Structure 1
Amino acid sequence: MTEQAHPYTPRYAHESVEERFDETLQSGFFSLERRHYRHRRFDGQWSERVLREVHVRHDAVGVLLYDPQRDCVVHVEQIRAGALDDPLSPWKLEPVAGLVDAGETSAEVARRESMEEAGCTIDELIELYTYYPSPGACTERVTLFCGLVDSHGVGGVHGLESENEDIQVHVLSFAQTWALLEQGVIDNAMSLIALNWLVRERASLRARR
């Protein structure tokens, strides 16, 4: 018997936040704000004033590029500022990713970034999830896709010089990819979420080709 989904809805919505004031602490490629607010508590009372620093980012798109005919995953490798102190390396294997500019849809970003970062044309784009990577500290919402591609001839170094991008493309078998995930080499949220989706859907994707 299939278990029914829990009928969850949030108890409170936006009207249960008041006295909100956003103070800009730093403005650059990303911004840092200090947010002042009160909110309803679960006992029905109002909280004391809360102060929280929040990293304000554009929404983003991630694309796991998968070749179902060859059973390969296309990864991009680049240096990551947030991982400069990583015990292994600040260069990370990740899905293609990019920020959503004004007037763009998430699907348009997915196709654009796949060409810019990996030289891949997407044959079919499958939307997976939209999620907050860290809602306690960051405004960013990520829309994650799987892009079905032909990986024949894919590789090399890509990226936009105007954005200081230096991106190496790797085409690895699914087995190699999963081994790297289990070894902790692939350690970013986009990959973990997308590859666990792929584990579930891989057989059906391969059967369609």
Structure 2
Amino acid sequence: MDAFIPVKTPLLLKKVFPNYIWNMVSNSKEIYLTFDDGPTPEITNWVLDTLKEYKAKATFFCIGNNIEKHPDIFLDILAAGHSIGNHTYNHLKGWKTKTADYLKNVSKTQDVIERKIPNSEFGIKNLFRPPYGQITPKQGKKLIGLDYKIIMWDVLSFDWNKKISKEACLNNITGKTTNGSIIVFHDSVKASKNMQYALPKVLKHFSMLGYSFKAI
């Protein structure tokens, strides 16, 4: 399946689904790093420490079940000034799930997020990213109607794919990123080897080129 997914999202796909956010419109040197599937013990904390070294902000699309299992790490993400997004409660595949069940799963996660956020200073942005990028037009329309912003991506690192080398993971990003790119990493055990190699080098590479790293 991964062999058919491009590193850089084609312009045609962005035009077919214009109501989804694929990249941020920017003429400035800004990059939007995102991390899916956490919070994950040790790995998410490592990401937070690494981002802090470069004064970088990012967006974490969290799985509801992981938030409940690791609330302290979730609060660490917020305390560091990063944005939080909804990634369903248990990494649901939209194409294989009835719309009503999908919406309930997203809502359950949003309830978890709102319960765990300690006060209004952090805010809730209603960001949503579908696991695997799988979401039906009906699911997307319903979520947008509920004021969710559906955040897709401009560049995939493929950090989860154990068939690609850590160098290839890095090159996917350095070779395809442009102003306003939304980049996908994963703060998960599966992706950790490639991600932990590529992330510091991405931060260093683009910092030297004058880029800043912002949260959505």
Higher strand fraction (1 or 2)? 1
Task: Name the TM-score class by shorter chain.
Answer: under 0.3
TM-score normalised by L of structure 1: 0.25
* Higher RCO structure (Cα 8 Å, ≥6 apart): 2
